Amino acid sequence: MYSFGQTISGDSQFYDHIEHAIPIQIYQDQNHTDIGYIDAYSDNFVKVNQTYYCRKQFTFVSRPGY
């Protein structure tokens, strides 16, 4: 389904990660920021570990099996 390290950005990808409980890792400027499961998402934000991350400011990476 998703490769370890695959960048995700589309709504369907975020939905899949919620639906299948696939963890993601979050980066800002290539620096690790957080890792966890998506709680919710919108057009502008992704909520992970009770923190909202701006979709334009951060990079979200799939971590299946982590």
Instruction: Identify the bridge partners of residue 24 per DSSP, sorted by sequence position.
Output: 36, 62
Q: Is residue 24 part of a domain?
A: yes
Q: What's the pLDDT score for residue 2?
A: 80
Strands 51-54 vs 7-8: parallel, antiparallel or unpaired: unpaired
Q: What's the pLDDT score for residue 64?
A: 84
Q: What's the pLDDT score for residue 11?
A: 96
Q: Is residue 33 part of a domain?
A: yes
Q: Can you give the pTM of this predicted structure? A: 0.92
| 11 closest CA partner among 50, 34, 45 | 45
Q: Is residue 1 part of a domain?
A: no
The number of domains in the chain is 1
Q: What's the pLDDT score for residue 49?
A: 96
CATH at 57: 2.30.30.100
| Domain around 10 | 6-62
pLDDT in single tens digits along all 66 residues of the chain: 787 888 999 999 999 999 999 999 999 999 999 999 999 999 999 999 999 999 999 999 999 877
